[in-house]
Amino acid sequence: MDIFPRPLPTEPLIDPFARAITYLRVSVTDRCDFRCVYCMSEHMTFLPKRDLLSLEELDRLCSAFIRLGVRKLRLTGGEPLVRRDLMTLIRSLGRHIDSGALEELTLTTNGSQLAKHAADLYAAGVRRVNVSLDTLDETKFRQVTRWGDLGVVLGGIDAALAAGLKIKINTVALRDVNEDEIASIAAWAHGKGMDLSLIETMPLGEIDGDRTDQYLPLSRVRARLAQRWTLNDIPYKTGGPARYVSVAETGGRIGFITPMTHNFCESCNRVRVTCTGTLFMCLGQEDAADLRAPLRASESDALLADAIRSAIARKPKGHDFVIDRTRAKPAVARHMSTTGG
């Protein structure tokens, strides 16, 4: 008899640094209909479709994490809404919202397919989405996304708001691209009742350009915004790593996500799974665990739960991103679109 009985599968996931893992991000595809310059090179090689988890397998995987205590689930990619029949998965995952097991089901999207899906997302239990938008200038939008159309994305945002979804705009701060525009993006977002989160570029995956040319520290952005507006630090939290300020003049909030200038790892509550079922315990580290094999090895979820637990037991303390010209290679070889932003 085992004198140290194994913990019940419902025990929460706690990592070696006493952080409870309650937030899962799942990349449902590595493909995308855009080619943002900081995210992808123009000619990407994507995974063969046979390597991807099926929608049923993604459902099983997410449900296993929910049984282990995950309360917030974010679908991302690549562009999640370009995965065929994704709404089937979202509708199915909505049962965990109905049962109360999951507090939030959400997604990060480039907005290109939002007009088509907004009402269905709401009906499935989604209440908030993050939409990435780096500029409100049509020409610049085309330059940054290479393939995107600003008008379509703005139409998607309006459709989502009309459907009752709350939106947070994610903007990557890019030197020489949107540095002068950030205040107007904030004013626009706040005018529509949307929060804005600003993100620093991270050295993830090979791209065509030079990241040192793109990198814009948010400390500089914040200083510029503070010349124009009254920014008040507020304790507002959305379960993510953003530190928020409220803007007295607009009545809206701006979040700063600063992986490069400020390390936020001490409160990390999240892990990420790729569309092939690889679990990354940290966005900025290479260590990973394969969940596809245990998922496919048996119809019961016991092996899968064991694999998840032993991976969480190795979650590292944090990342150590550096962007500097002396490094020829990105800190992490895989793209954000693979791990899921």
39 binding ligand SF4? (CB under 6 A) = yes
Q: How far is the CB of 110 from ligand SAM (least distance, A)?
A: 4
Choose, by CB under 6 A, the member of 22, 170, 258, 274 that binds ligand SAM: 170
Query: What is the distance, to the nearest Å, from the Cα of residue 58 to the centroid of all Cα atoms in its chain?
Result: 17
Task: Provide the mask over 59-88, with x wherever binding to ligand SF4 is found by CB under 6 A and - wherever it is not.
Answer: ------------------xxx---------
Q: Contact region for ligand SAM (CB under 6 A) — 32-40, 88-96, 188-196, 271-279?
A: 32-40
Helix axes 55-67, 86-99, angle to 10 degrees: 20
**Contact between 131 and 103 (Cβ < 8 Å):** no
Q: Contact region for ligand SF4 (CB under 6 A) — 29-37, 99-107, 195-203, 204-212?
A: 29-37
141 binding ligand SF4? (CB under 6 A) = no
CA separation for the pair 259, 264 (Å, rounded): 7
Chosen from ligand SAM, ligand SF4, none, partner binding at 170 (C-beta under 5 to 8 Å by type) = ligand SAM
205 binding ligand SF4? (CB under 6 A) = no
- Burial per residue of 220-240, b for 16 or more beta-carbon CB atoms within 10 angstroms, e otherwise: ebbeebeeebebeeeeeebeb
> Is the torsion defined by CA of 19, 22, 23, 29 positive or negative?
positive
By CB under 6 A, the count of residues binding ligand SAM is: 19
C-alpha distances out from residue 69 to 21, 53, 104, 231, 277, Å: 7, 22, 13, 36, 19
Q: How far is the CB of 306 from ligand SAM (least distance, A)?
A: 30
> Is the torsion defined by CA of 257, 235, 13, 17 positive or negative?
positive
CA separation for the pair 85, 63 (Å, rounded): 18
34 binding ligand SF4? (CB under 6 A) = yes
202 binding ligand SAM? (CB under 6 A) = yes
39 binding ligand SAM? (CB under 6 A) = yes
Q: Contact region for ligand SF4 (CB under 6 A) — 31-39, 184-192, 233-241, 315-323?
A: 31-39
Question: What are the phi and psi torsion angles at 302 (to 5°)?
Answer: -65, -45
Residues that bind ligand SAM (CB under 6 A): 32, 38-39, 76-77, 79, 108-110, 132, 170, 172, 199, 201-202, 204, 336-337, 341
